[in-house]
Amino acid sequence: MPEPEPKSNVFFPRLVHLYREALTLERRLEIANLVYTEIHHDLRIYLITRVEPNSVEDVLNETLMAIFSSLDKFRENSNEQFFKWCYRIARNKACDMRRKDRLDILPMEEFSQLLDASATQEPLSPGDKLDFEHLMNLLKKSKPNCRELLLDHFYFGFNLVELGEELKLKYDAVRMRVERCLETARELMA
């Protein structure tokens, strides 16, 4: 499954630079509003698989506040890196929520419905939709940690080093977890 990409032609590193260089609060708010408009939907979709449905908006708001309060720290030079940075912040906020409440994540049926509703600009092809639904069903049957790990790695595009940093594990330990989760998925497909 390819990494989700922004649905616009906005170059986020340039916006971040303009935000840092803005001389007036009005200009900063204008740029922040543009960034918000471009990222909030993708972050919401990302979060619906990680927190209880009635907590999505709260975690999304916390994520957006964290992003905007640390825009000065973002130094990468690609949209891909910007979105990975945003997803990492969202994942951390979702983990904080789960640690706090120990909640189950959104059922896959509801996730699929929300994904369908969100695909207004570039809907999935019928084949991709079937593949995605099949994958979601397989992951639902596997261990919840595997589902989240495989989604983070294959759908949201986090590499093994980034996952290791999040899980506080070494590269080989993360690699082995991903391999075990894939083996579980293969067994479920058989």
Q: Which of 57, 52, 19, 27 is nearest to 40 (CA)?
A: 57
Q: Domain containing 2 — which CATH number?
A: 1.10.1740.10
Look at residue 60 in the predicted model and tell me its pLDDT. Answer: 94
Among 93, 123, 153, the domain-final residue is 123
Among 103, 123, 143, the domain-final residue is 123
Tens digit of each residue's pLDDT (9 = 90 or more) over 147-179: 778 777 776 677 888 888 878 889 999 899 988
pTM of the model: 0.56
Look at residue 89 in the predicted model and tell me its pLDDT. Answer: 93
Quote the CA–CA distance of 113 and 136 in Å, as a whole number: 12
Tens digit of each residue's pLDDT (9 = 90 or more) over 34-58: 999 989 999 998 898 788 888 899 9
Are 73 and 163 in a shared domain? no
Are 68 and 132 in a shared domain? no
Q: Which of 66, 65, 59 is nearest to 45 (CA)?
A: 59
Contact indicator for 111, 136 with CB cutoff of 8 Å:
yes
State the residue range of the domain holding 10: 1-123
What DSSP designation does 153 have?
I
Are 69 and 12 in a shared domain? yes
Are 112 and 130 in a shared domain? no
Mean pLDDT for the chain overall: 78
Look at residue 85 in the predicted model and tell me its pLDDT. Answer: 92
